[in-house]
Amino acid sequence: MHLRTKAATRTAAVLLTTTLAAALLGAAPAWSAPGAAQPRAQVEVFAEDGGISRTTAPTVSPYLAAPAPGLTAPGGDGDVTPLVRNGDTASKLDVVVIGDGYAAQEQEKFRSDAAEKWREITAVEPYATYRGLFNVWAVSAVSPESGVSGDPDRATVRHTALGSYFWCDGVERLLCVDEKAVERYAAKAPQADLVIVVANSTKYGGAGYNDVKSALGYEGIATVAGGNARSGQIAVHETGHSLGKLADEYAYDGQGAYQGEEPAEANISTLTADRMRDQGVKWSRWLGKASPDGGTVGTYEGGGYYPTGLYRPTENSIMRSLGREFNLPGREAMIAGFYRHATPLTSPTPAGTWLTPADRLTVDLPVPGTLLHWYLDGREQPQLRGRTALDLGALHLTGPRSRPHLVSAVATDPTPAVADPALRPELTGSLSWLLTR
Ligand SMILES: [Zn+2]
């Protein structure tokens, strides 16, 4: 079921992008008017004090290096290294980390910076608990120069594989990138559900591109400085959008009062706590509970860019400021998002394999605390609960010898961090095999 969901999403994304590309190609004139507007994307800027704001930025970088042919040897351009490999791409959430501004002799440094970024990300819950659901692929992009544009100062220009640059759109901490170049390199990984660009820089900065619709299936790009210990938070916030489908919980002065319909996102609402509780919607199940980001869950006015008319669940979660935790509704949405790409149960023996009583069957439960139940021809075998290795000879088979039997394993993550019954089915996975005597 997870497989199908993942493939269907990918197909839909491919179709959408193909349609868009065709529409754009059809509409584009054969010439470019002088000073014609470059395509722009919605991006987020992250200030050093943790504050977040939004702007738009060009999707094309002026600092893209010309392709360097011949750099395809091991350790060269486009090489893919698994930093974390927990399983096959169909059953895991695949994170692709691409380096920029790393010269040929700095690719080892890139991999080390990428691994450090993943450590920063997985220090934050729910990543810490759910790290077994992820693969992480490091894609080497060899840049002719070391470092990126705008570091240390605005006048510094370096042409790099992905064209990363600080001072994007005149904002020092905004680290932009060339979206098409990112996609070309991301395509080299076996699968890309999430893309992080690590720039060879110690300067604080980054960007969150959260309206990306790549043909590869990823929906956001986070750019971070590889050598800056606080920039991993940028990627965590960005995945709040791409994986958790969460709204921003910050607001702008002067934006006025929100007048629209109830927003779709799980973490902002037009409803006050009383009305939310009465209607049993949004984060009503979490109201009054202590939240990991501090304080209790309630309805705090301001969020979704509006200072009034919209409410957020807690005072200050990571969807409002960097350096924070997800709040309870955010954590729930993230876990559900992880499971939309990854399954709670895998096995080295492919489902559907024909087995005999001489065989041994093993399964893996990537998330701590996952419950496991075994079924023989649909009947639960309570003595096998929680067993991840099974000698099939121990099963008591009845009926005619010629009749095949069905062995099934069902794994469920019972985490109390997911309270919405509509999300619970995502937390269960099952596999079945055939058994003959
Ligand atoms: Zn955001």
CB count within 10 Å of CB 280 equals 8
Q: Find the 84 Cα to ligand 1 centroid distance in Å.
A: 26
Mean pLDDT value of segment 157-183: 96
- Which pLDDT score is estimated for 437? 87
Residues sharing a CB contact under 8 Å with residue 400, sequence separation 6 or more, in sequence order: none
pLDDT at 12: 40
Mean pLDDT across 412-430: 96
Compute, in angstroms, the gap from residue 242 CA to the centroid of ligand 1.
10
Tell me how far apart the alpha carbons of residues 357 and 147 are, in angstroms, rounded to a whole number: 59
If you measure from the C-alpha of residue 21 to the centroid of ligand 1, how many angstroms do you get, rounded to a whole number?
A: 27
- On whether residue 102 sits in a domain, the answer given is yes
Query: Is the residue at 278 inside a domain?
Result: no
- Ligand 1 center–CA 412 separation, angstroms: 31
Instruction: Determine the distance separating the centroid of ligand 1 and the alpha carbon of 388, expressed in angstroms.
Output: 40
Do 98 and 219 belong together in one domain? yes
Domain boundary among 242, 275, 297: 242
Residue 146 has pLDDT above 80, yes or no: yes
> Cα angle vertex 224, ends 220, 229, to 5°?
135
**94 is a domain residue:** yes
Contact 293, 267 (CB under 8 A): no
Task: Tell me the average pLDDT across 409-437.
Answer: 96
Ligand 1 centre and the CA of 236: distance in Å? 10
Distance 266 CA to ligand 1 centre (A): 14
Distance 241 CA to ligand 1 centre (A): 7
CA 198 to chain centre: 15
pLDDT-derived band of residue 32, with 50, 70 and 90 as boundaries? very low
Question: Which of 242, 272, 298 marks a domain boundary?
Answer: 242
Cα–ligand 1 centroid distance for 361 (angstroms): 44
Strand partners of residue 208: 44, 222
Q: 274 by DSSP, 3-state: which?
A: helix
Per-residue model confidence as pLDDT tens digits over 353-392: 999 999 999 999 999 999 999 999 999 999 999 999 999 9
Q: Residue ranges of the alpha helices (H) in 57-215? A: 107-121, 127-130, 179-186
Q: 255, exposed or middle or buried, with CB in 10 Å at 0-12, 13-18, 19+? A: middle
Strands (E), 3-92: 40-46, 52-58, 80-84
Compute the average pLDDT of residues 341-350. Answer: 96
Ligand 1 centroid from CA 46, angstroms: 9
**Residue 276 resides in a domain:** no
Q: What is the band of 23 on the pLDDT scale with cuts at 50, 70, 90?
A: very low
Ligand 1 center from residue 337 Cα (angstroms) = 16
Domain boundary among 185, 218, 242: 242
Residue 334 has pLDDT above 90, yes or no: yes
Q: What does the CA dihedral 337, 341, 347, 350 come to, rounded to 10 degrees?
A: 150
Of the chain, the percentage scoring pLDDT greater than 70 comes to 90
pLDDT of 72 strictly over 50: no
Cα 371 to ligand 1 centre (Å): 34
Average pLDDT over residues 263-277: 98
The SS3 assignment for 2 reads: helix
Residues bordering ligand 1, an ion, CB closer than 5 Å: 44, 248
Number of domains within the chain:
2
Could you tell me the distance, in angstroms and rounded to a whole number, from the CA of residue 325 to the centre of ligand 1? 14
Report the pLDDT value the prediction gives residue 258, as an integer from 0 to 100.
97
The CATH number linked to 187 is 3.40.390.10
Residue 123 lies in a domain: yes
Q: What is the pLDDT of residues 77-128, one digit of tens each?
A: 999 999 999 999 999 999 999 999 999 999 999 999 999 999 999 999 999 9
CA–CA dist 231, 275 (Å, integer): 38
- Kindly give the distance from the C-alpha atom of residue 49 to the centroid of ligand 1, in angstroms, as a whole number: 15
Domain containing residue 361: 354-435
243: tokens are: 């994986």
Asked if residue 395 belongs to a domain, the reply is: yes
Q: How far away, in angstroms, is 238 Cα from ligand 1 center? A: 6
pLDDT value at position 150? 97
What's the pLDDT score for residue 73?
A: 43
Does the residue 226 lie in any domain?
Answer: yes
Enclosing H/E stretch for 276: helix 273-279
Give domain status of residue 338, yes or no: no
Q: How far is the CA of 42 from the centre of ligand 1 (A)?
A: 10
